[in-house]
Amino acid sequence: MTMQEDHKDCFVLEGKMALPNQNFAGRLGSRFLIAIRDRKKIMGLKCNPCGKTFVPPREYCEKCWTKIADNWVELGTEGELVNFTVVRYGDRHLPKKPPYILGQIRLDGADTPLVHIVEGIDPRDVESGIRVKAVFAEKTTNTIMDIDHFEPV
């Protein structure tokens, strides 16, 4: 479109979209998060028919529709870094100052890798396949950030 318009009256008003929220982890999510916060344990949920162990928690296996909400298994707090990126931009929603490593970590005993932050290694040296372990947060927030980060074993 090639509408010619006069821009002389046009301007931009600065504003914001801001609303208060309260999010609920639910019973299942609370058990998972409290285990990390209070017991420093990472729990998975196992689907017996599929033979797969999932993390983060979910009520049922979406592949076979089996309810797995009670089938907790304890995972290791160590695992393998299977994939990663280096975050180099800075936005307000990011939990760390860039640059930092965001990785996919397959915990011992789990089939699905968990997305988390990897520290204690230079972004230039990181590679897939290294072993990492969870470092739990001193100051807890009731989210997955109660694991502060993972670091090489």
Partner 1 sequence: MTEYFGTTVADIFATMPKRFKPEEAKEVDIAIGYEATGEGGGKWKATIKHGTLKVETVEGELTGCKTTIHTDAETFVGVTLGKIAALDALSSQKLRVAGDPKFLMLLLPKIFTPYAAPAKKPDAVTARDIIATIAERFRPEKAEGVAMTIGYDLAGEGGGKWTIVIREGKCAVREGLADPLTVKMTMEAKTYAGMMVGTIEAVTAFTSGQVKIEGDMAAAGATAKYFLKYVVPGATEAEELISLRVINSIEQRFATGPVMGRWFAGIREKKFLANRCPKCGRTQIPPREICAWCRVRVHEFVEVGPKGVVTHFDIVYFASPDPLTGAVRDTPYATAYVVFDGATEREAITLDLKQEDIPRLKEGARVRPVWAEVTTGSYRDLIGVELDEEEGSI
Partner 2 sequence: MKMHAKNRNVAIIGIGQTSLSSHKEDQNQAEMVHEAVRNALADAGLKIGDIDCIVHGNMELFEMQFAPDLWHSLGTGAYGKDEYRITTGGTTGATLVCAADNLVASGLYDTVLAIGMEKLQEGNTTGGITNMADPLWFRNLQTGALTGTTAQEIIDEFGEERAKRAAMRYRIMMDKHAMLNQRAHRRLGLEYSQMEDLMANSPPLVGELRLIHMCSQSDGACAMIFTSEEKVKQGTKNPPVWMRDHIQVHREETIPNLFGFNKPEVTHHLAARKLFARNGIQDPVAYFDVFEMYDPSAWWAVDWLREFFLLTGDEHLRMLEAGDFDMDGRIPINPSGGVIASNPIGATAMLRLAEAALQIRGDAGGHQIKKEVRHALASGFGGTFWSVLMILEKELNWQEVNHD
Partner 3 sequence: MATKRVAICAVAQHKNDSDLWHKRFQGMLLDVLEELQAQAGFTFDEETGVNTIVSCSDDFFDARTISNNGVTDVLGAQYRGEEKMAQEGLNAVGYAQAVILSGYADLVLVMGHCKESQSESRRMISNMGFDPFYGRAVGLDNLNAAALQARAYMKKAGLTEEQLAGIVVRARQLAARNPYANAREIVEAGKVVASPQLCDPIRQLHAYPVSDGAVGMLLASEERAAEFTDKPVWIAGFANCMDSYFLGDRDLTANFALKQAAGRAYRKAGIADPRKELDLVEVMDAYAYQQPLWLEGLGLCGDGEGARFLDQGGQEKYRVNLSGGMLAGNPVIIAGLYRAAEAALQLKGEAGERQVPDLHRAVAHSTTGAAGQFHSVLILER
Residues that bind partner 3 (CB under 8 A): 1, 3, 5, 7, 10, 12, 15, 17, 23, 25, 29, 33, 54-56, 58, 62, 83-89, 91-96, 102, 104, 106, 112-117, 123, 141-145
Task: Compute the distance between CA of residue 153 and CA of residue 125 in angstroms, rounded to an integer.
Answer: 14
> What is the closest distance, in whole angstroms, from the C-beta atom of residue 133 to partner 2 in the complex?
28
Is the omega angle on the peptide bond into residue 56 within 30 degrees of 0, that is, cis?
A: yes
In whole angstroms, what is the distance from residue 150 CA to residue 153 CA? 9
Q: Which is nearer to partner 1, 84 or 146 (CB)?
A: 146
Residues that bind partner 2 (CB under 8 A): 13, 15, 17, 19-29, 58-60, 62-63, 65
Token readout for 99 is: 């640059």
- Least distance from partner 2 to the Cβ atom of residue 151, Å: 29
Tell me which of partner 1, partner 3, partner 2, none is bound by residue 116, counting a contact when its beta carbon lies within the kind-specific cut-off of 5 to 8 angstroms: partner 3
Output the smallest distance, CB 38 to partner 1, in A: 6
74 strand-pairing partners:
43
Specify burial of residue 21 (Cβ count, 10 A radius: 0-12, 13-18, 19+): exposed
Integer Cα distance of 37 and 145 in angstroms = 10
Which residue, 58 or 133, is less far from partner 3 as judged by CB? 58
CA dihedral 57, 61, 65, 71 (to 10 degrees): -70
Cβ distance to partner 3 smaller for residue 140 or 152: 140
